[in-house]
Amino acid sequence: MAAAVVRRGAAGWRRWHGRVMVCSRAMASKTPVGFIGLGNMGNPMAKNLVKHGYPVIAYDVFPEACKEFQDLGAQVTDSPADVAEKADRIITMLPSSPNAIEVYTGANGILKKVKKGSLLIDSSTIDPAVSKELAKAVEKMGAVFMDAPVSGGVGAARAGNLTFMVGGVEQEFDAAKELLTCMGSNVVYCGEVGTGQAAKICNNMLLAISMIGTAEAMNLGIRLGLDPKLLAKILNMSSGRCWSSDTYNPVPGVMEGVPSANNYQGGFGTTLMAKDLGLAQISATNTKTPVPLGSQAHQIYRMMCAKGYALKDFSAVFQFLREEETL
């Protein structure tokens, strides 16, 4: 076995045993953290890091998204590469696989200036195969990549109680968890790189199916003369109960503080759900896994995007079903 090599940088002591890295970041608690992607989810996540005392170095492709963080004292940069130059722990929260590839490997990407030993955590929901390719590219630069997609939506991001599903080198999990617990109440190690993404797309496929089922059941009950609040109450004390019925009900007027109470604004967009279901379809094809309900859900959300629902919350499937009598 190769002799152990000890390195020290801003991220603390690192011990290398051959090609396997074991690291301790006990001294790194309040060193700067890079955050790339300040959208609906990234914004509150980065704010929670600031609340926990971490100096944040921020970047977003839309400069106006960064202004709020400048006011909070964060340092704003001009590119992902500049973030990598200034921070050796970076979290990315991006809309899609192409965005992630560009941010990491593009002309002004993270890998242009990443420091050896840096910890790069991607909380985007992307193709597990893309996560694995990014991990290989990052490893060649002497850094560490972990995929850590989230569940819980914007509300959980604001409250700091997201669930993180983490894939990567197990020895690095504690280092990642130090940051992720500032933004989430559940941080689960799933296995090697890509398994976090695998868990996330399985969860979102089930979420889409259950939301469509809840919307169908509520719509049918209302047309049969049931009061929607009464029907929701019955469902939620019966075997049909699910998150879509008891926490995120899609029927306007049934619950407060959810997108259905605000004309389906905010929350988790229909376009993003269609994207995640597409990822599930790709994975199902690659693994020869039958997912008939997942496939049908994908088609429904694609139709919603084509019918003007793209920017509405995915629970707007109730409104879609009410209006599309021909389905």
8 Å CB contact between 169 and 120: no
The reply to whether 271 sits in an annotated binding site is: no
Contacts of 149 (CB under 8 A, 6+ apart): 122, 123, 124, 125, 126, 164, 165, 196, 197, 199, 200
| CATH superfamily ID and name for 199-322 | N-(1-d-carboxylethyl)-l-norvaline Dehydrogenase; domain 2 (1.10.1040.10)
What is the SS3 assignment for 20?
A: strand
Which residue in 112, 200, 229, 288 is the catalytic one? 200
Q: How many CB atoms lie within 10 A of CB 293?
A: 15
165 is in an annotated binding site: no
Confirm whether residue 229 is marked as ligand binding.
no
Q: Is 67 a catalytic residue?
A: no
The predicted pLDDT at position 160 comes to: 97
Residue 135: phi and psi, rounded to 5, are -60, -40
| 186 marked among binding-site residues | no
99 assigned to a ligand binding site: yes
**Which amino acid appears at position 315 of this protein?**
S
- Would you say 171 and 146 are in contact if contact means Cβ atoms under 8 Å apart? no
Residue 288 CB contacts under 8 Å (≥ 6 apart), including other chains: none
CA distance linking residue 111 with residue 90, whole number of Å: 12
**Both tokens of residue 77?**
């940069």
Tokens describing residue 133: 């390719």
Residue labelled with tokens 């001009």: 78
Tokens standing for residue 142: 């002497």
Three-state SS at 208 = helix
**What confidence score (pLDDT) does residue 327 get?**
57
Residue 273 counted as an annotated binding residue? no
Helix axes 97-105, 128-140, angle to 10 degrees: 0
Q: Whose structure tokens read 């993180």?
A: 164
In this structure, which CATH number among 1.10.645.10, 3.40.1160.10, 3.40.50.720, 3.40.50.300 belongs to the domain 2-191? 3.40.50.720
pLDDT at 42: 96
Is 17 annotated to bind a ligand? Reply is no
- Determine if residue 234 is labeled as part of a ligand binding site: no
Q: What is the pLDDT of residue 29?
A: 54
Q: So where are the chain's domains?
A: 2-191, 199-322
pLDDT per position in the chain (327 positions), as tens? 333 333 333 344 343 333 333 344 433 457 999 999 999 899 999 999 999 999 999 999 999 999 999 988 899 999 999 999 999 999 999 999 999 999 999 999 999 999 999 999 999 999 999 999 999 999 999 999 999 999 988 889 999 999 999 999 999 999 999 999 999 999 999 999 999 999 999 999 999 999 999 999 999 999 999 999 999 999 999 999 999 999 999 999 999 999 999 999 988 999 999 999 999 999 999 999 999 999 999 999 999 999 999 999 999 999 999 988 665
